[in-house]
Chain A
Amino acid sequence: KTDQLYGHYCSCLFWLNHRLKELLRAKLTECGWRDQLKAHCKDVIKEKGLEHVTVEDLVVEITPKGRVLVPDSVKKELLQRIRAFLAQHAT
């Protein structure tokens, strides 16, 4: 049974990491989310100074805005896929 579960686990991970992630990234680029956030990044950098900006600065500034900026359609579709996937694998 552990073998089965492990196989199951791996396939889920694969699907999540590769298929779903790629899908989300493509959709976000398509809808302009990425460019919006990048523009925001520029503001942050100009604010903090080009030389001294750190990853943490960026993460703190960008992530909450990023979560909000995801368009509804993308969010809905992704949730749908996830639910379908879970339903499929709930054996």
Chain B
Amino acid sequence: MKMEDMSLSGLDNTKLEALAQDIYSDLVEDACLGLCFEVHRAVKQGYFFLDDTDQESMKDFEIVDQPGVDIFGQVYNQWKNKECVCPNCNRSIAASRFAPHLEKCLGMGRNSSRIANRRIASSNNMNNKSESDQEDNDDVNDNDWSYGSEKKAKKRKSDKVFLHSLKQHIPLNPNSPRRSKSVKHKNGELSNSVNADPYKYNYNTGINYETLGPDELRSLLTTQCGVISEHTKKMCTRSQRCPQHTDEQRRAVRVFLLGPSASSLPDADTMVESDCYDASDGQVLMSRLQWDGSSDISPSDSASSKASTNNSDSKKPKKKKKTSLGLNSTGGGGGGSGSGGGSSSQTSLVGLSNRKKKPKLPVPPAPSIYDNLN
């Protein structure tokens, strides 16, 4: 292209079109030439015919076009009816089912361990005749009244340790229907406080308090009843409000297990620490707190903060932020209906919940609304 040609503004359409055609044909010719040079070089260098096959092989690998057969000449479901002998159980299995069967047979697949455990658990349950969910055998709650479950639980501990280590990766949702269903069987009451436990506590540690360290004991006792049964020497795994045991018993257990300094009933903490705290439970909660609050907490701000610090000494609270928020909202709702004692323990509750975030912060001004009730 000459430099004068570059000023295209002077050209009209026909010339532009002619120019375009010229450019196009130049390009195509360029491509052809390129191909020629390539081929010529290949011929002279001797590799032009290299990718060809000889006639004989061409005939061998010709595309097959018969019915019932694919293009390679293979029959489609030739091995469907063949049977293989399993090396493990020596049964003859259909070929298409062989791989899944081997998975289950050797116990190496993804589901095989789960199914095996389920089978073990259900056979155990049928032996025991104890009440437990047939579906949720993984999280069976062993009550301290089933004698047979003591041995089974210890065995199952090893079985389920790895299963639970798997399960711990899953965020525990206390609201999942599985968990609430299994616990409703047992307690029928504040089921969620039991479910707040990590999985393994449900049946493992409900058995034997001797095997637990002080930290585990403490965290257990804040959520479970924990009263040690006389005949089985096991801790009750029910909630803090389980009807079998009185609060005095619970207090005694705590003194026994954690020492006299931990004698304050962690009921308030329990309420605080349960993951799921509906507004509907607020009423129930208030009535409980009335009973507790009158003994522990005096109806004034300074005293309530003292009570909260008392509790903080004895326990290592497991708290999630969700809980404190839930409490604050229910505190507002429940406090209105509570009486004098209720309101004061309410203040302690709110104080506690705030204490988790900033220990030195005094009780928030919300309780001041309820002071006139006193």
Contact = CB atoms under 8 A, between A and B. Distances in A.
B256 interface: no
A41 B39 contact: yes
A5 B23 contact: no
A78 B24 contact: yes
A73 interface: no
Instruction: From B8, B31, B37, B48, name the one whose CB has the most chain A CB atoms within 10 angstroms.
Output: B31
Interface string A1-36: 010011011001100100011001100100000100
B31 A86 contact: no
Interface stretch (B13-21, B58-66, B118-126): B13-21
B29 A67 contact: yes
B20 A38 contact: no
B43 A50 contact: yes
B35 A37 contact: yes
A79 B32 contact: no
Contacts of A28: 31
Contacts, number: 92
Contacts of A82: 20, 23-24
A88 B194 CA distance: 76
A40 to B, nearest CB: 10
B115 interface: no
A82 to B, nearest CB: 4
B166 interface: no
Interface residues of A, number: 40
Interface string A62-90: 11001100100001001100110011011
Contacts of A6: 3
A58 B39 contact: yes
B8 A70 contact: no
Nearest to B4: A5
B13 to A, nearest CB: 10
Contact of B20 (A5, A13, A53, A86): A86
Nearest to B33: A59
Given A53-B40, A58-B36, A83-B16, A24 B28 contact: yes
A90 B24 contact: no
A8 B30 contact: no
B134 to A, nearest CB: 62
Nearest to B2: A9
Contact of A66 (B11, B17, B28): B28
B8 A16 contact: no
B21 A63 contact: no
Contact of A70 (B28, B30, B39): B28
Interface in B24-60: 24-25, 27-37, 39-40, 43, 48-49
A89 B9 CA distance: 8
A83 B32 contact: no
B137 to A, nearest CB: 60
A38 B31 contact: no
B1 interface: yes
A63 B7 contact: no
Given A55-B36, A83-B20, A90-B9, A67 B25 contact: yes
A28 B37 CA distance: 17
B11 to A, nearest CB: 7
A45 B32 contact: no
B52 to A, nearest CB: 9
A45 B33 contact: no
A67 B23 contact: no
Contact of A13 (B1, B19, B36): B1
Given A59-B36, A90-B11, A67 B21 contact: no
A75 B24 contact: yes
A71 to B, nearest CB: 12
Contacts of B49: 42
B170 interface: no
A24 to B, nearest CB: 5
A66 B31 CA distance: 9
B6 interface: yes
Q: Which 8 A-B pairs have the closest CB atoms?
A: A66-B32, A90-B8, A58-B36, A82-B20, A63-B32, A41-B39, A55-B40, A59-B36
Given A53-B43, A91-B9, 13 more contacts: A6-B3, A9-B3, A12-B6, A25-B31, A55-B36, A55-B37, A59-B36, A62-B32, A62-B36, A66-B31, A67-B28, A67-B32, A91-B8
